[in-house]
Amino acid sequence: MQDFFYFCPSDSAEPTDPRPIRIRIYRMDVNRVYKEDCLTGLGRIPDGTVDLVFTDPPYYQNRAGNLTGLKNHKDVITEFKFDGFASEEDYLGFMEKVIRELYRVCKDGAAGYMWCGDDYVSFLNRIVEKAGFQFRKVIHWHKTNPFPAISTRKMFANSMEMCIHFSKGSPKTWNFKTVNEMHNFIESPICMGAERMKHETQKPLRVCIPYIEISSDPGDLVLDPFMGSGTTAVAAMMLGRKFIGFEKEDRYCDIIRERFGKYLEKHPETPEGGLPEVISGRSGPSK
């Protein structure tokens, strides 16, 4: 397992403190999903270590509670998750803390991709810039099999999701594909078939892999603070990248373990960076 180490002065050592600075060592392994709140976990990642952020945070799509009759369809469930935030301010405040941490842990030239819904895309763009990143473009995913529009709802089908592309300075990696593959638009059905795990908002690999390929190289470290069912981790392994990430829910961590098991059955060779694992965040730092 590959490690990285972080040396930082003790909190108690003020600049004027005559005592020698005590050194603490933090250690995190790559190819791991830590079961913990990402804000806690991100705090242990050293400055400037991540090559690419690829993430899909909670959307806080709170528009809707009156459609209980439709809740069996995956896409409707996605649309009407409240994600546990008390208010818009609460949600945006949380996202700002996360995005500022992402800026700190990214290398200069690292890129980021962050999925979001139409409600908050502009708010999140501004936060990305406030944190110091350059906003580059919004990518649009057209879901070809959304929950259909129902006449009585008087709303269009929710067939689009958005992904904000940003970078810390000028992107260091830009693996240009063909001109027609470099549009800020991608079409794919929602995740189905053998790939589908029991996670309500699982992204298909098809809408993740191209961007990881374009904005990172084999051996690079990809971070996802909101792992869900582990899509970013699987995509990273498929492409020879290393990953690190967080997921706070036990039930989703179990799904990630199951997914890693399935992946290793199909790809028995050890992935770049070592065998994937899901572990408790408390076993992350070693002093």
Contact residues: ligand SAM, CB under 6 A: 37-38, 56-58, 199, 201-203, 226, 228-229, 231, 246-249, 252
- Rg over alpha carbons for the chain, rounded to the nearest Å, is 19
| Least distance (Å) between residue 182 CB and ligand SAM | 23
| Least distance (Å) between residue 28 CB and ligand SAM | 15
And the tokens for 254? 């179990």
Tell me whether residue 110 or residue 233 sits nearer to ligand SAM (CB atom). Answer: 233
Residues with Cβ within 8 Å of residue 179, at least 6 apart in sequence: none
Tell me whether residue 41 or residue 172 sits nearer to ligand SAM (CB atom). Answer: 41
| Least distance (Å) between residue 249 CB and ligand SAM | 4
Between the alpha carbon of residue 137 and those of residues 22, 111, 116, 210, the distances in Å are 44, 12, 13, 15
| Least distance (Å) between residue 258 CB and ligand SAM | 12
CA distance 139 to 126: 16
| Least distance (Å) between residue 52 CB and ligand SAM | 15
| Least distance (Å) between residue 230 CB and ligand SAM | 6
**Residue 281 Ramachandran class (φ > 0 left, ψ -120 to 50 alpha, else beta):** alpha
Residues with Cβ within 8 Å of residue 78, at least 6 apart in sequence: 59, 61, 200, 201
CA 11 to the chain's CA centroid: 29
| Least distance (Å) between residue 133 CB and ligand SAM | 20
Tell me whether residue 103 or residue 226 sits nearer to ligand SAM (CB atom). Answer: 226
| Least distance (Å) between residue 142 CB and ligand SAM | 17
CB 270 within 8 A of CB 246: no
Tell me whether residue 38 or residue 128 sits nearer to ligand SAM (CB atom). Answer: 38
Tell me whether residue 161 or residue 172 sits nearer to ligand SAM (CB atom). Answer: 161
Residue nearest to ligand SAM according to CB distances in the complex: 228
E strands, the chain, are: 3-9, 23-29, 32-35, 50-55, 106-116, 134-143, 160-167, 185-188, 221-224, 242-246, 277-280
Tell me whether residue 172 or residue 259 sits nearer to ligand SAM (CB atom). Answer: 259
CA distance 247 to 135: 26
Count of alpha carbons within 13 angstroms of residue 42, beta-carbon side: 23
Tell me whether residue 58 or residue 171 sits nearer to ligand SAM (CB atom). Answer: 58
Within 10 A of 156 (CB to CB), how many other CB atoms are there? 9
Tell me whether residue 243 or residue 252 sits nearer to ligand SAM (CB atom). Answer: 252
